[in-house]
């Protein structure tokens, strides 16, 4: 960690602490006995630079590990004579670790207790550094919160001794100690410490003015009143300062948040605002919102003594947030639109304030998050079902306005979020375009939970939402089989595997752009399994011989057709239809989703065809007869295979073949290399291609 980049600490601060440690006159710290010597600590530090980001997945950078090294370093300073270089390096290591602990308080109660005590301890040792005030406040505040959750045993001296030393050291130096911390400390650890300098919330008038830099430009009248202890005059002068400052400040802010500025334009409003800021610096949760509020307040309160320190804290935490809270595909790891949009709103609010190059990564993330939401949005700009929304009927246009942007259609249509496990298929960006959202993440851990879900929007309205499940099983994402995603101007294809102990499920979706969708579900198990597809349609629904369709005279409609009626039941409910097939493994169900524009009633005729292939290959085939074309599908669920049907000979995994009335042929092959129709060889490749087409 480069202290000069990520903190307000400078080389002279490191030197000052080194000189104080060298004197070995800091009271109470001699009670801490070192386990290792300084050379071991230095060797570790040289091999493992302190990270800027919170890295709890690395054992060395968990809170308890970092806290232990801080205490070890302080103990070494009290017991081990070092060279001038040694004290300087020890000071640097302690300060780097302290900055890490201050920025990242998240964890279980016991590690948080260790980290809080180390932070409070350094806050007493580094009392000559201005940064120590916020470290000490946060350290004691976090100790109080952790002690409310965990009670150390009498034998846990490794936990309690640093806490005792931290309180004794701060009290001996007459440093402010958070009142809630001493009360909890005395109650939980059965101590009887009386504070010399008690710091409490809400702030007293004198505490508030002590927290300000009275030498800040424009604060001359405030300073004069404080020096003669004329608090009413100081309040009046401070209100005048705030109002003039905000008046000048607004000119440099893009789309200023008026309510936010009003909450800090007088002494009466600024004082509780500063109190909230100090509380957030102790417990910055929820992470993104708290970091944003800290960063904004650092801009709004330049007269606060710790404003630069808090500004750097926000930037450091933002760097961690970018990787910790978001997938590389641009969506929040919570997988909810509420979390995504709230983060966008927070980032946009912070970035309205003037900043330097350190916010460039955050600006890029904001643009990426917004672009991801636009890709997810349906043709009417609403969002598909992906967790709760921040408000009813919230849409992409409103989100863009919050982010001080405008809705701009991307250059591409279909889009994949592979880490989030969501896929969007669309043919264009027009309001009457076709759109399918596929959420491939299994829902919940109970039996009969949905394996995946979809939402279909076409020709001006949402036509259906749907789910698929294997009854009696709990399926999770398969670790051994990758998701396949292909997008081209002519078609999209996605394939996703899920698994349970003895059951595997695969869903493939093929989209012929501008026309229709084919759902291909495969279930593999040791016993008979029941596959269930549910479609929520709304409005009037009719069904016949495995086919279902909606009937809305003025709006678009949807035709759903299944192939192979063996063991298939179709059940209609008030606003939904359930396709259910119970059969021995392997079980396959191919389903057509055919959107129809308003007034259109014609739909394809679906017929199964016999597929000839090897005995160990599961091959299925069917045709869709439309007014001017006949489409044929051949599908192998055993990878690349040789298949034939009617006059077609195909070597591959997935084939779409279209023949029109004039004899023209178009085709799409997935993982294919050879195709012959009648006597004509349409393609003969040396190696299979992921996709190959003539459209």
The per-residue pLDDT for range 592-631, each reduced to its tens digit, is 999 999 999 899 999 999 999 999 999 999 999 999 999 9
Q: Are the C-beta atoms of 662 and 641 separated by less than 8 Å?
A: no
The β-bridge partners of 668 are 656, 693
Chain-centroid distance of CA 63 in Å reads: 22
- Which whole number is the average pLDDT over 299-314? 93
The β-bridge partners of 504 are 499, 524
State how far the Cα of 103 lies from the Cα of 313, in Å rounded to an integer: 6
Q: Are the C-beta atoms of 443 and 449 separated by less than 8 Å?
A: yes
State how far the Cα of 437 lies from the Cα of 293, in Å rounded to an integer: 34
Ranking 121-125, 357-361, 645-649, 670-674 by mean pLDDT, the lowest is 357-361
3-class DSSP assignment, residue 663: coil
The β-bridge partners of 579 are 533, 570
Residues near 80 by Cβ (< 8 Å), separated by ≥ 6?
34, 37, 38
**pLDDT reported for residue 255:** 59
Q: Is the pLDDT of residue 675 over 90?
A: yes
Q: Are the C-beta atoms of 481 and 470 separated by less than 8 Å?
A: no
- Kindly report, residue by residue over 260-295, the tens digit of the pLDDT: 666 678 999 999 999 999 999 999 999 999 999 999
3-class DSSP assignment, residue 544: strand
**pLDDT reported for residue 251:** 64
Ranking 90-94, 249-253, 296-300, 352-356 by mean pLDDT, the lowest is 249-253
**pLDDT reported for residue 557:** 95
State how far the Cα of 429 lies from the Cα of 410, in Å rounded to an integer: 9
Q: Classify 455 in phi/psi space as left (phi over 0), alpha (psi -120 to 50) or beta.
A: beta
pLDDT > 70: percent of the chain: 97
- pLDDT bin (cut points 50, 70, 90) of residue 413 is very high
- Which whole number is the average pLDDT over 336-347? 96
**pLDDT reported for residue 480:** 54
Q: For the packed helices 307-324 and 84-103, what is the interaxial angle rounded to 10 degrees?
A: 70
Q: Are the C-beta atoms of 519 and 533 separated by less than 8 Å?
A: yes
- Kindly report, residue by residue over 64-89, the tens digit of the pLDDT: 999 999 999 999 999 999 999 999 99
At 666, phi and psi to the nearest 5?
Answer: -125, 155
Q: Is the pLDDT of residue 482 over 70?
A: yes
**pLDDT reported for residue 692:** 97
**pLDDT reported for residue 25:** 87
Q: Is the pLDDT of residue 481 over 80?
A: no
- pLDDT bin (cut points 50, 70, 90) of residue 446 is low
Q: Is the pLDDT of residue 24 over 70?
A: yes
Q: Classify 285 in phi/psi space as left (phi over 0), alpha (psi -120 to 50) or beta.
A: beta
Q: Is the pLDDT of residue 478 over 80?
A: no
**pLDDT reported for residue 573:** 84
pTM: 0.91
Q: Is the pLDDT of residue 108 over 80?
A: yes
The tokens 């405008």 sit on which residue? 406
Chain-centroid distance of CA 259 in Å reads: 28
**pLDDT reported for residue 474:** 80
Residues near 156 by Cβ (< 8 Å), separated by ≥ 6?
none
Q: Is the pLDDT of residue 254 over 60?
A: no
Q: Are the C-beta atoms of 438 and 418 separated by less than 8 Å?
A: no
Chain-centroid distance of CA 484 in Å reads: 23
State how far the Cα of 341 lies from the Cα of 61, in Å rounded to an integer: 31
- pLDDT bin (cut points 50, 70, 90) of residue 1 is confident
3-class DSSP assignment, residue 202: coil
The tokens 């004794």 sit on which residue? 168
Q: Is the pLDDT of residue 375 over 90?
A: yes
Q: Are the C-beta atoms of 424 and 439 separated by less than 8 Å?
A: no
**pLDDT reported for residue 494:** 98
Q: Is the pLDDT of residue 46 over 80?
A: yes
Measured at the alpha carbon of residue 306, what is the angle toward residues 2 and 403, in degrees to the nearest 5? Answer: 80
Q: Is the pLDDT of residue 690 over 90?
A: yes
CA-based torsion, 119, 125, 128, 133: positive or negative: positive
The tokens 């952790």 sit on which residue? 146
Q: Is the pLDDT of residue 445 over 70?
A: no
Q: Are the C-beta atoms of 105 and 115 separated by less than 8 Å?
A: yes
Q: What are the angstrom distances between the C-alpha of 597 and each of 399, 420, 465, 556, 624?
A: 29, 32, 18, 5, 18
Q: Is the pLDDT of residue 258 over 80?
A: no
At 299, phi and psi to the nearest 5?
Answer: -75, -40
> Residue 680 CB: number of other CB atoms within 10 A?
9
Task: Name the residue with higher pLDDT: 358 or 234.
Answer: 234
**pLDDT reported for residue 539:** 80
Count CA atoms closer than 13 A to 633's CA, side-chain side.
24
Q: What are the angstrom distances between the C-alpha of 262 and each of 91, 258, 292, 303?
A: 42, 6, 18, 17
CA-based torsion, 189, 192, 195, 201: positive or negative: positive
**pLDDT reported for residue 154:** 85
**pLDDT reported for residue 479:** 61
Q: Is the pLDDT of residue 450 over 60?
A: yes
**pLDDT reported for residue 36:** 87
Q: Are the C-beta atoms of 609 and 632 separated by less than 8 Å?
A: yes
- Kindly report, residue by residue over 147-192, the tens digit of the pLDDT: 999 989 888 998 999 999 999 999 999 999 999 999 999 999 999 9
**pLDDT reported for residue 259:** 63
- Which whole number is the average pLDDT over 244-250? 83
Q: Are the C-beta atoms of 399 and 377 separated by less than 8 Å?
A: no
Q: Are the C-beta atoms of 163 and 110 separated by less than 8 Å?
A: no
- pLDDT bin (cut points 50, 70, 90) of residue 476 is confident
What tokens appear for 537 in the block? 């349609």
What is the chain's mean pLDDT, rounded? Answer: 93
- Tell which residue, 39, 50, 40, 13, has the closest CA to residue 125: 13
- Tell which residue, 517, 520, 495, has the closest CA to residue 588: 520
- Which whole number is the average pLDDT over 99-107? 95
Measured at the alpha carbon of residue 342, what is the angle toward residues 341 and 347, in degrees to the nearest 5? Answer: 95
């Amino acid at each position: 960690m480069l202290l000069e980049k990520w903190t307000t600490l400078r080389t002279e601060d490191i030197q000052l602490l080194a000189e104080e440690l060298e004197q070995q006159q800091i009271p109470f710290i001699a009670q801490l006995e070192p386990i290792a010597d300084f050379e071991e600590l230095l060797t570790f530090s040289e091999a493992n630079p302190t990270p800027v980001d919170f890295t709890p997945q690395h054992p060395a950078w968990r809170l308890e590990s970092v806290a232990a090294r801080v205490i070890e370093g302080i103990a070494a300073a009290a017991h081990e004579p070092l060279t001038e270089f040694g004290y300087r390096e020890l000071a640097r290591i302690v300060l780097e670790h302290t900055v890490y602990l201050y920025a990242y308080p998240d964890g279980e109660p016991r590690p948080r207790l260790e980290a809080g005590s180390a932070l409070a301890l350094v806050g007493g040792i580094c009392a000559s550094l201005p940064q120590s005030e916020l470290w000490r406040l946060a350290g004691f505040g976090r100790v109080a919160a952790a002690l409310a959750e965990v009670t150390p045993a009498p034998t846990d001296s490794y936990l309690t001794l640093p806490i005792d030393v931290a309180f004794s050291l701060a009290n001996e130096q007459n440093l402010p100690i958070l009142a809630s911390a001493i009360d909890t400390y005395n109650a939980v650890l059965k101590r009887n410490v009386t504070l010399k300098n008690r710091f409490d919330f809400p702030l007293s008038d004198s505490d508030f003015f002590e927290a300000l830099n009275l030498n800040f430009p424009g604060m001359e009248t405030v300073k004069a009143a404080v020096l003669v202890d004329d608090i009413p005059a100081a309040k009046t002068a401070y209100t005048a300062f705030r109002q003039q400052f905000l008046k000048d400040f607004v000119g440099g802010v893009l789309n200023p948040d008026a309510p936010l500025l009003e909450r800090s334009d007088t002494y009466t409003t600024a004082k509780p605002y500063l109190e909230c800021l100090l509380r957030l610096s102790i417990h910055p949760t929820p992470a993104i919102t708290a970091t944003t509020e800290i960063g904004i307040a650092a801009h709004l309160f330049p007269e606060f003594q710790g404003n630069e320190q808090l500004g750097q804290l926000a930037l450091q935490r933002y760097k961690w947030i970018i990787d910790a809270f978001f997938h590389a595909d641009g969506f929040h790891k919570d997988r909810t639109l509420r979390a995504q949009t709230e983060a966008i709103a927070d980032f946009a609010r912070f970035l309205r304030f003037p900043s330097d190059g350190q916010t460039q990564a955050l600006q890029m993330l904001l643009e990426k998050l917004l672009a991801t939401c636009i890709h997810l949005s349906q043709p009417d700009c609403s969002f598909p079902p992906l967790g709760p929304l921040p408000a009813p009927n919230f849409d992409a246009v409103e989100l863009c306005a919050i982010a001080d942007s405008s809705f701009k259609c991307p250059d591409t249509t279909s889009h994949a979020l592979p880490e989030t496990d969501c896929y969007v298929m669309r043919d264009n960006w027009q309001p009457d375009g076709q759109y399918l959202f596929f959420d491939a993440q299994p829902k919940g851990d109970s039996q009969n939970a949905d394996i995946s879900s979809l939402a279909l929007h076409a020709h001006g309205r949402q036509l259906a939402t749907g789910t698929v499940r294997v009854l009696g099983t709990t399926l999770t994402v398969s670790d051994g089989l990758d998701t396949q995603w292909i997008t081209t101007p002519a078609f999209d294809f996605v394939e996703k595997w899920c698994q349970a102990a003895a059951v595997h499920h695969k869903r493939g979706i093929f989209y012929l752009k501008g026309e229709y969708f084919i759902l291909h579900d495969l279930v593999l198990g040791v016993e008979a399994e029941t596959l269930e597809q549910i479609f929520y349609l709304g409005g009037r629904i009719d069904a016949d011989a495995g086919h279902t369709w909606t009937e809305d005279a003025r709006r678009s409609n949807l035709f759903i057709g299944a192939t192979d009626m063996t063991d298939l039941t179709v059940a209609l409910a008030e606003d939904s239809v359930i396709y259910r097939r119970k059969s021995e493994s392997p079980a396959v169900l191919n389903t057509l989703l055919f959107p129809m524009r308003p007034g259109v009633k014609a739909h394809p005729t679906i017929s199964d065809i016999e597929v000839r292939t090897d005995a160990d290959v599961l091959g299925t085939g069917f045709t869709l007869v439309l007014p001017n074309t006949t489409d044929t599908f051949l599908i192998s669920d055993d990878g690349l295979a040789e298949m034939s049907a009617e006059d077609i000979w195909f070597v591959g995994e997935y084939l779409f073949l279209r023949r029109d009335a004039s004899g023209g042929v178009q085709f799409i092959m997935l993982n294919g290399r050879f195709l012959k129709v009648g006597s004509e060889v349409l393609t003969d490749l040396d190696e299979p291609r992921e996709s190959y087409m003539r459209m």
